[in-house]
Amino acid sequence: MSSGHRILTVFLTVICLLVLTIAGLATDWPRWYWPAVGATALAGTVAAARAGARRGGSIPTECTLEPDLPIPPPPRQEHRVVDVSLPSAMPDYDFLFSATVRWIPEAGDTPHFDPCGLAVQAVLLRAREFAARQSPRSPAMARHQLNGVLSVMEADASGRVLAMAKDVGLALSESDQDRLSKLSNVRKDEDVWEHERNYERNKRMYLSDDVLKDPGSAVVWWLARNDEQVEGTVERIGLLAQLSAAANNSEVAPPFRDLLYAPEPEPAPEYGQPEYDGGPGEAVVPPEQEFVEMTADWLGLTGQDPEMALMVARMAEAMEASGKKREAGDLRRFFGLPEDPPPAADDEPADPAPPDEAGPFPYPD
């Protein structure tokens, strides 16, 4: 029995004795009745005390207070928002935000405000502040980070609701995603092209400023790359000197001019075909053509005159008789006469061939 129970038992015993005393005085009980009443009250008190001790010391009374019970929290409420545009770190590339907003009213049910609107506003402000610092090139990473930021229940600016979000979605539109992919590919190609151009520029600078700056550097560079071909390097000194001069827009140095390769001689032209002798537009005229032209001009004849064919045939015979057989053959071939004409009879001269059979004269009348 606890001390509180003992005090309560003594208090009840005293009250009972006082009640019995007042009743005995009012009814004028006999004297022998007083000790019996006192003993009875004391025995009842002791019995009540023992009964309370056996029950664990708890004596039910009307004055006992029940302990405070926990007040259950108000139920959480949810609202789904879909495809809300949020700005990103790049202008004109917005995220599309979706989430399930959950909230708990702080001020209880009251008709003076809408807890759903306050909760959605609070979540959107937090999501906007986070998305404005994220690059749209990695929306998946930003989505996971934003899911962690909005998973904490926080009060809104007015302090009336606690709001959070779950099932967060953050993505770009298909058109914006395609544009970023194209820009990424172009940027990669541009980087590759820039590296290739720098490589080519460095290679040109290396060749012009180091390798081919003079014939000696060119020879040393070739020998370093072909150290086992010493004789071949010596044979290429003239070529390397010429290459160095071309790279520096200058002439070959005098000490190396004798080592240049001599040009191969051109084949001699055939008779009867004009060719250029090196001058622009100037042709070399064969001697038999020049001879025929001068003779025809001197005599006032043309290529169609029978006298011209007869005279050329007689000239060829005279040249052949004097030992100039090659020149006679060239003259006959040029004029279109047979190279070995049959000998004419002693009593009559050989008739020349008609103009149409003697072959065309290659010059105008």
Say if residues 154 and 162 touch (Cβ distance below 8 Å): yes
How many CB atoms sit inside 10 A of residue 5's CB?
A: 17
- Compute the residue count for the chain: 365
Q: What is the pLDDT of residues 138-194, one digit of tens each?
A: 899 999 999 999 999 999 888 888 999 999 999 999 999 999 999 999 999 999 999
pLDDT tens digits for range 185-208? 999 999 999 999 999 999 989 888
Spell out the alpha helix ranges (H) of the chain. 3-27, 33-54, 115-131, 139-149, 174-206, 215-225, 230-235, 237-247, 254-257, 287-299, 306-321, 325-335
Report how far residue 69's alpha carbon sits from residue 47's, in angstroms, rounded to the nearest whole number. Answer: 35
Q: Is the dihedral of CA 4, 6, 10, 15 positive or negative?
A: positive
User: Hey, CA dihedral for 224, 226, 232, 237, is it positive or negative?
Assistant: negative
Asked if 42 contacts 25 with a C-beta cutoff of 8 angstroms, the reply is no
Helix, coil or strand: residue 278: coil
Residue 7 pLDDT:
73
Name the more confident of 228 and 298.
228
Read off the pTM: 0.43
The domain defined by 77-172 folds into Tetrahydropterin Synthase; Chain A (3.30.479)
Query: 243 — phi, psi (to 5°)?
Result: -65, -40
Cα–Cα distance between 212 and 220 in angstroms, integer? Answer: 10
130-141 tens-digit pLDDT: 999 999 998 999
Distance CA 269, CA 275 (A): 7
**In the chain, what are the domain boundaries?**
3-54, 77-172, 212-257, 270-365
- C-alpha 234/C-alpha 246 separation (Å) is 19
Beta bridge partners of 100: 80, 166
